[in-house]
Amino acid sequence: MPRSDLYPDIAPFDSGYLPLDHGHTMYWEQVGSASGVPVLFLHGGPGAGAGAVHRRFFDPDRFRVVIFDQRGAGRSRPLGSLVANDTPRLVEDIERLRRHLGVRRWMLFGGSWGSTLALAYGQAHPERVSGFVLRGIFLGREREITWFLEGLARFFPDVWKPFAQHAGATRAEELLAAYRRLLEHPDPRVHLPAARAWSVYEGSCSTLVPSPDTVASFAEDRTALGLARIEAHYFANKLFLPEPGLLGHMERIAHLPAEIIQGRYDMICPPESAFALAEAWPRARLTIVPDAGHSALEPGIRSALLAAVERIRPVLEEPPG
């Protein structure tokens, strides 16, 4: 019978901080089996950071799971820093971590922005990837950013209104510019309330059924600051993705196996992106969860991710051709 519950809590068997460039330091940890199939967990945002719950999507007897906080996020230092913070550098950070840990190839597991970064890394280093399990697909296109900033008002007008009022704007471009000014202001009395307004807005739209616990976690100062400041920075720079976007470079990873999990009612990352990605990927399997939104912790998404990891595991264990 397919597993529906996450694996039990587990502590890392190894962890540390890896110096990067421009004053950044990356937090990383490993959980599971040191001799297991290597997996890299990529958190969302950008800027959200990873947590203990993310260790629990993988069988600890079969997988060697590497989890890290991207520069400026979570336990990486300094929190919320935008200095030298862009997608190409995140891709290089992953390569630096891979070399540091002595991993030859790993499966990439990520949702939302984590799916974006997984695709960007995979397209840059396909020889280092054994497969993908992706959730809540975000391709970083302009219409996806506009949807998040403005389009969500059609479904969450009560949540969007305070988000817009805090910035004193209503159109996507104006909202983004206003929030960037507030979030990058040096005074915490200015940037922290703006970060909470942005992050609470995102958390409130992330689940099919309202989840006060989800909203409360998004409202925490450390989570909110990293998420809001870095996310606005990336949105304003079109996610620092090369032209013609991720779909334009799919030939680089078309030979790799992939599982794509998408909530039918995902309001943060609407399903059209998951369908577009699956159509461009010969070896991808798309699973639509009929009773779920965006969050990886919703019951349907959680179960589908656990099943996807088990489906793809035998392929990952095969020696590369």
Catalytic residue among 191, 266, 295, 303: 266
Q: What are the CA-CA distances from residue 182 to residues 78, 223, 229, 233 (Å)?
A: 19, 17, 9, 12
Residue 26 is which amino acid? M
- Kindly name the residue from 54, 294, 295, 303 that is annotated as catalytic: 294
Q: How far apart are CA 103 and CA 98, in angstroms?
A: 5
Query: At 139, phi and psi to the nearest 5?
Result: -95, 0
Closest among 117, 174, 172 to 140, alpha carbons compared: 117
Instruction: Identify whether the C-beta of residue 109 lies closer than 8 Å to the C-beta of residue 42.
Output: yes
Active site residue 294: yes
β-strand partners of 27:
17
- Written as six digits, the tokens of 292 are 């779920």
The residue from 112, 204, 206, 211 that is catalytic is 112
Main-chain dihedrals φ then ψ at residue 265, nearest 5 degrees: -110, 40
112 has catalytic annotation: yes
**Three-class DSSP category at 49:** coil
- 266 is annotated as an active-site residue: yes
The two structure tokens encoding residue 9: 């809590």
The CA distance from 82 to 47, in Å, is 10
User: CA 140 to CA 290: how far, in whole Å?
Assistant: 24
- Spatial separation of the C-alpha atoms in residues 121 and 167, rounded to whole Å: 34
**Among 285, 233, 320, which Cα is nearest to 45's?**
233
How big is the chain, counted in residues?
A: 321
CA atoms within 13 A on the CB side of 34: 6
Distance CA 291, CA 245 (A): 30
CA distances from 88 to 78, 91, 118, 160, 170 (A): 19, 5, 12, 32, 31
What amino acid positions are annotated as catalytic residues? 112, 266, 294
